[in-house]
Amino acid sequence: MTSTKAIAPQSGQHLSGSDILDNARRLAAMVREKDLAAEYDRLRSLPADVVEMIRDAGIMRMNMPRTWGGPEMTSMEQVEVIEALSRADASIGWCSFIWCDSGIYSGYLDDAVAREMYPRLDMATSGWVYPVAPAHRVEGGYRVSGQWMFGSGSTHCDWLVAGCVEMENDQPVLSDGGKPLWRILMARPDEYEILDTWYTTGLRGTGSNDYRAEDLFVPAEHTFSFLDEARREGPLWAKPDTLLRKMSGVPLGVAADAIDTAIALLADKTDRITGVPYRDTPRVQSAIAEAQTLLGGARSYVFGSLEAQWRKLETGEAMTAEERANVWLARTNAFQAGRRVTSILYDAIGGSAIYSQKSPFDRHLRDMQTACQHLVGQTKGYELVGEILLGGEAQHPML
């Protein structure tokens, strides 16, 4: 692949949230102009040059603290960035929202250790955080053997995390509440074996391969638990859903691009049987209107719930059960609405939508189908949310 740098390297420059959003839009325009998303889809990973564009654009630093010279962007600003990138390609948006968690992770580590691990603002962190392998306590740290799924962007990251159950004397270490302790271990990607497993329906460009480790030693200072309080103050590091807030940008961006592309395509398309222009066909008009309604409602719910959450996190005031529920439900609704929008437009376009080289509708549909398999996109999460709305306790650590 050949491509031209869309963004000049800015690693030594101060970037505001608006600077990063402008850079994201420029990068997305370049990807769309060169029709690069189809190639990322074929490669099953983002190539090194586009990863460097993301790095140069400042997108990886979105959660870096102001004390380090970072922009410490709000949840709403980050959604806008991921939304802009996802309008060009869902895989770029997906990897970006994961890579920019470097600033989140750094806030749970000792600051001196974190600065050593992240000597630059524009560094990427990938990995599966839920505990699926035992991490045995040893002198100075932990030893772990195991395998993790969904290492999105792991072939291009600077740090790769692994969610573990903390063990001592071959027994799980229990919290005061009697539950196994959940610990995140951070190591260099070359300390793991990354497996070629990412053969999927959609989000192919994310390279979300499995990865494994065998008797890997991780120093204690390179580990932490999301169940503990962060060592850094501020809304970005406030529990519970620190890693999830900007995810909605992916389905919102894909749906917006699907609508724009459909409108542009249908402007010159004519029904072969009736000879009536598609833009004058009630069926098509209704499809466009329904898609726009779904996107508009989903986007408003996302930003409204995040703004309410951010206000409470800034003041330290406790969120109500309804406010907590709205953040989760708005995110799930964005994914479900994104899938519905792409499906409606796929049907409205007709037979030409199936050709991946002629239009992005096939990729839109596949990307959203795959994205909705993530826990936050699945409606089975409604059970967890309904429980807290009915006065129960949250059964998910990020709800």
The token duo for 87 is 């309008």
Question: What is the C-alpha to C-alpha distance for residues 311 and 132, in angstroms, rounded to an integer?
Answer: 34
Question: Distance between CA atoms of 152 and 143, rounded to whole angstroms?
Answer: 23
pTM beyond 0.85: yes
Gap between the Cα atoms of 53 and 78, Å rounded = 17
Q: What is the dihedral of CA 60, 242, 118, 56, to 10 degrees?
A: 10
Provide the pLDDT confidence category of residue 10 given band limits of 50, 70 and 90: low
Exposure letters 1-27 (e unless 16+ CB within 10 A, then b): eeeeebbeebeeeebebeebbbbbbeb
Residue 212: how many other CB atoms lie within 10 Å? 16
- pLDDT of 11: 61
The predicted model gives 361-365 an average pLDDT of 93
Find out whether the peptide bond into 240 is cis, omega within 30 degrees of 0: yes
In tens, the pLDDT along 126-146 reads: 999 999 999 999 999 999 999
- Determine the CATH number of domain 124-224: 2.40.110.10
Dist CA 14 CA 233 (whole Å): 21
| pLDDT tens digits along 261-313 | 999 988 888 887 888 888 888 999 999 999 999 999 999 999 999 999 999 99
* Top-level class of domain 247-389: mainly alpha
CA distances to 73, 109, 273, 283 from 21, rounded to whole Å, are 11, 28, 45, 36
Instruction: Give the residue, 360 or 191, on which the prediction is more confident.
Output: 191
What's the whole-number average pLDDT of the chain? Answer: 93
- Domain positions in the chain are 17-106, 124-224, 247-389
- Class of the domain covering 17-106: mainly alpha
The predicted model gives 252-265 an average pLDDT of 95
Tens of pLDDT, residues 88-124 = 999 999 999 999 999 999 999 999 999 999 999 999 9
DSSP 235-297: GGG-SS-TTTTTTTHHHHHHHHHHHHHHHHHHTT-B-TTT--BGGG-HHHHHHHHHHHHHHHH
How much is the pLDDT for 3?
Answer: 42
